[in-house]
Amino acid sequence: MQQHVLAALQEAESALTQLLNNTEMQNTIAKAGDAIAEALNQGGHIYSCGNGGSMCDAMHFAEELSGRYRLDRPGLAASAISDPSHISCVSNDFGYEHIFARYVQSHMRPGDILLAISTSGTSKNIVAAAEVAKQKQVKIIALTGRPDSTLGNLADFDICTPGGRFADRVQELHIKVIHIFMELIERRLFPHLYQE
């Protein structure tokens, strides 16, 4: 079994190395983090969505903005689209692919940002949310794992982190990007926290 442990770590290392060597993607991450900070600074609200593990990542991102990341500071306006009553209502009445789009339609305004997470970049309900966000002139940050995806092509910032055959390596890179976002946002809005 030890060889499987080593193989898993090596595969994760390889995926991270690809991102380390991709300066264009690092620049996109930096620009997206800056866009989130600017939206918050201007009174905007950040919404996030995803399915399965990506929903957990969306929730993690929102709670670290509204709650706490590394250091104490005021809470920031962020929500994950994860309310079970909303999801069950919309999926029952309109279909599962509309659960996020309906929320975006109801809540988002120009100046807000949607963080849309889909490892494939083709999840119908995430793509539908991005389409509505675009109609509402909301900026979209996509976290994907396949280049030139439907979601990525809708986004203002497509952060594509290919991680191999399966979604788990992509998700591992997505959580790294989310944590980088948090640091960039805090450094921009609360620079005193990072005085060294």
Q: What is the pLDDT of residues 126-170, one digit of tens each?
A: 999 999 999 999 999 999 999 999 999 999 999 999 877 778 899
Residue spans per domain, the chain: 2-194
- Arithmetic mean of pLDDT, 81-98: 97
Mean pLDDT lowest among 50-54, 72-76, 81-85, 162-166: 162-166
pLDDT at 98: 98
Which three-class secondary structure state does DSSP give residue 78?
Answer: strand
Alpha helices in 123-166 (DSSP H): 124-135, 150-154
Quick check: 73 pLDDT over 90? yes
pLDDT confidence band for 196 (50 / 70 / 90)? low
144 three-class SS: strand
**Total length of the chain:** 196
Please give the share of the chain, as a percent, with pLDDT higher than 90: 87
Which whole number is the average pLDDT over 51-80? Answer: 96
Instruction: Beginning with the edge strand found earlier in the chain, give each strand of the sheet holding 113-117 in spatial order.
Output: 78-80, 46-49, 113-117, 139-144, 157-160
pLDDT tens digits for range 41-59: 999 999 999 999 999 999 9
Read off the tokens for 189: 């809005």
Kindly report the CATH number that applies to the domain delimited by 2-194. 3.40.50.10490
pTM of this prediction?
0.95
Mean per-residue pLDDT of the chain = 95
CA 109: distance to chain centroid? Answer: 18
Mean pLDDT of 177-182: 98
The predicted pLDDT at position 88 comes to 98
- The identity of residue 132, as a single letter, is V
Residues 105, 132 contacting (CB under 8 angstroms)? yes
Determine the average pLDDT of the residues in 58-66.
Answer: 98
Instruction: Decide if 167 contacts 53 (C-beta within 8 A).
Output: yes
Query: Which helix (DSSP H) or strand (DSSP E) does residue 32 occupy?
Result: helix 23-41
How many Cα neighbours within 13 Å face the side chain of 156? Answer: 18
- pLDDT at 181 (0 to 100): 98
Residue 138: name the closest of 53, 76, 73, 49 by CA.
49
Q: Which two tokens stand for residue 64?
A: 């670290």
179 pLDDT above the threshold of 70: yes
